[in-house]
Homo-oligomer: A and B are copies of this chain.
Amino acid sequence: MALVVTKFGGTSVGSTECIRAVADRLIARKQAGNDVVAVVSAMAHVTDELTELAHEMCAEPPEREMDMLLSTGEQVSIALLAMAIAARGLDAVSFTGSQVGIVTDAVHSKAKIAEVHGDCVRAALGEGRIVIVAGFQGITGDGQITTLGRGGSDITAVAIASDIGADVCEIYSDVEGIYTADPRVVPDARKIAELSYEEMLELAASGAGVLQMRSVEFARNHGVVIHSRSSFSDAEGTIVKEADVSMEQAIISGVTLDTSEAKLTIRGVPDRPGIAAKVFGELAKENVNVDMIIQNVSDQGIANISFTTPQDDLIRARHVLDRLATELSAREVLVDESIAKVSLVGAGMRTHPGIAARMFEALARSDVNLEMISTSPIRISCVTSGARAKEAVRALHDEFGLGKEAITIEKMPSGEGASGSGASREGVSAEGAPGEGVPGRGVPGGDGGA
């Protein structure tokens, strides 16, 4: 017997038939003796339809009213799910974000949870009912309806799991968990049984789309165990929790691919103090998220600055750079929308030097050219051309033997720690070459998309 919070996304509740399937799953969990809370999103098509209506009314709908509108989506889902459970003869009760006491700040459309008052959840569980909560939404201290932005329903689930002290927060989606690589790209990708929050955060930040960074961070901060699993099967998925000494730490947990960014370069700016600060200061003012940054300097006191940014921010970023180019008498602004970021993530990397070198060698053998590199203690990311990105992922997945069996510290063959000194041979472009090929040094760190 456990206290389980489950979360079902828009696809899982996308039709009345899907909602019935979710109801059956919740009933099975309840009848197995668990206390069950379900957090659900709006039905998949509903949010789009409401957004379209809003834009018919107003080119730029006020965000407060947009939240008022969109929050009806989950309210419909929770009521229908409670009805589906009632139709099976069990007792369920639904709550909106407001009713369940998800108190947020007042930043409409991307509010942050300040506190949760889950008393009504505890009370309803105490009465033996299945509790259904609207994800994605909250309420400010003075009663305004807010939405939590992208991945908001996951955060609702984690926040409630934390508040009621759930044993696990199960996040259901259309995949069975976190894989060593995207199975659509790497057919023999393997499901990962366990990950630390830290690894999951790096994977999420690098493009593993199953779990949102914000919810993993929230789970880490509040010690909530996440179980990422499939709506369509009973298979065990991936557990994400605090790393403990007994946990086998894979050197490499997975390879990720992110094609959602674009690269911009401003060429021929003066190489003097304050130029980079000016460029990124102006970008920040326009709310442009910046991930990886490279600056290289020529002999003539002239520099090139490149950075990557989400495609969504590209138009705004381009505007800023065009303006700066005039102001700074830069030579030109270049945009490359077809880049891809390939990342290798693994907590064991921290204690095993030479991973970067081995990564670059493998990419070179596959004829993949590297344009930018960034690292964290447990991640190495390379920007390459989109055209060669899938080959890059397959080459790395193969090189580190991820498909067959996880390489753990215990199982690690001797000699794996070989030096990364060969980095300069690896097809790494001059612009992006790290000084040593060793993670964490010589490469400007990105801002993680913050």
A67 CB, min distance to chain B CBs, angstroms: 8
Instruction: Determine which of B54, B61, B71, B84 lies in contact with A58 in the assembled complex, contact meaning CB atoms within 8 Å.
Output: B84
Please report the C-alpha to C-alpha distance between residue A330 and residue B208 in the assembled complex, in whole angstroms: 77
Please report the C-alpha to C-alpha distance between residue A56 and residue B87 in the assembled complex, in whole angstroms: 10
Instruction: Determine which of B57, B64, B75, B93 lies in contact with A64 in the assembled complex, contact meaning CB atoms within 8 Å.
Output: B93
Which residues, 72 to 88 on A, are CB-close (under 8 Å) to B? 72, 75-76, 78-80, 82-84, 86-87
Please report the C-alpha to C-alpha distance between residue A56 and residue B83 in the assembled complex, in whole angstroms: 9
* Residue contact B20 to A57, C-beta cutoff 8 Å: yes
Please report the C-alpha to C-alpha distance between residue A19 and residue B57 in the assembled complex, in whole angstroms: 8
Q: Which residue of B lies closest to A91 (CB)?
A: B62
Instruction: Determine which of B76, B78, B80, B98 lies in contact with A98 in the assembled complex, contact meaning CB atoms within 8 Å.
Output: B98
Q: Which residue of B lies closest to A68 (CB)?
A: B79
7 shortest interchain CB distances as A-B pairs? A69-B79, A72-B72, A58-B87, A57-B83, A58-B83, A68-B79, A65-B82
A sample of 6 inter-chain contacts (CB < 8 A) reads A19-B57, A54-B83, A64-B93, A66-B83, A69-B75, A96-B145
Number of interface residues, chain A, beta carbon within 8 A: 37
A34 CB, min distance to chain B CBs, angstroms: 22
Given contacts A68-B82, A69-B80, A72-B72, contact A53 B16 (CB under 8 A): yes
* Residue contact B50 to A65, C-beta cutoff 8 Å: no
Q: With contacts A54-B80, A61-B86, A68-B78 known, what are 19 further pairs, Cβ within 8 A?
A: A16-B57, A19-B57, A53-B80, A54-B83, A57-B83, A58-B83, A64-B93, A65-B83, A65-B86, A65-B94, A66-B79, A66-B83, A68-B75, A68-B96, A69-B83, A72-B72, A72-B75, A99-B145, A120-B143
Please report the C-alpha to C-alpha distance between residue A371 and residue B99 in the assembled complex, in whole angstroms: 54
A59 CB-CB contact with B under 8 Å: yes
Q: Which residue of B lies closest to A62 (CB)?
A: B86
* Residue contact A61 to B83, C-beta cutoff 8 Å: yes
Please report the C-alpha to C-alpha distance between residue A120 and residue B64 in the assembled complex, in whole angstroms: 15
* Residue contact B68 to A94, C-beta cutoff 8 Å: yes
In the assembled complex, which residues on chain B have CB atoms less than 8 Å from the CB atom of A75?
68-69, 71-72, 75
Please report the C-alpha to C-alpha distance between residue A50 and residue B77 in the assembled complex, in whole angstroms: 11
Please report the C-alpha to C-alpha distance between residue A40 and residue B120 in the assembled complex, in whole angstroms: 30
Q: Which residue of B lies closest to A78 (CB)?
A: B68
Please report the C-alpha to C-alpha distance between residue A82 and residue B78 in the assembled complex, in whole angstroms: 25
Please report the C-alpha to C-alpha distance between residue A75 and residue B59 in the assembled complex, in whole angstroms: 20
* Residue contact B86 to A58, C-beta cutoff 8 Å: yes
Please report the C-alpha to C-alpha distance between residue A69 and residue B76 in the assembled complex, in whole angstroms: 5
Please report the C-alpha to C-alpha distance between residue A112 and residue B17 in the assembled complex, in whole angstroms: 35
In the assembled complex, which residues on chain B have CB atoms less than 8 Å from the CB atom of A94?
65, 68
A371 CB, min distance to chain B CBs, angstroms: 43
Q: Which residue of B lies closest to A52 (CB)?
A: B16
In the assembled complex, which residues on chain B have CB atoms less than 8 Å from the CB atom of A93?
64
In the assembled complex, which residues on chain B have CB atoms less than 8 Å from the CB atom of A64?
93
* Residue contact A50 to B76, C-beta cutoff 8 Å: yes
Q: Which residue of B lies closest to A15 (CB)?
A: B56
In the assembled complex, which residues on chain B have CB atoms less than 8 Å from the CB atom of A58?
83-84, 86-87
Please report the C-alpha to C-alpha distance between residue A76 and residue B76 in the assembled complex, in whole angstroms: 11
In the assembled complex, which residues on chain B have CB atoms less than 8 Å from the CB atom of A72?
72, 75-76, 79
Q: Which residue of B lies closest to A73 (CB)?
A: B72
Q: Which residue of B lies closest to A80 (CB)?
A: B57
Which residues, 19 to 59 on A, are CB-close (under 8 Å) to B? 19-20, 50, 53-54, 56-59
Given contacts A59-B87, A72-B72, A143-B99, contact A54 B79 (CB under 8 A): yes
A28 CB, min distance to chain B CBs, angstroms: 18
Please report the C-alpha to C-alpha distance between residue A54 and residue B94 in the assembled complex, in whole angstroms: 14
In the assembled complex, which residues on chain B have CB atoms less than 8 Å from the CB atom of A120?
143
A176 CB, min distance to chain B CBs, angstroms: 28
In the assembled complex, which residues on chain B have CB atoms less than 8 Å from the CB atom of A83?
54, 57-58, 61-62, 65-66, 69
A57 CB, min distance to chain B CBs, angstroms: 4
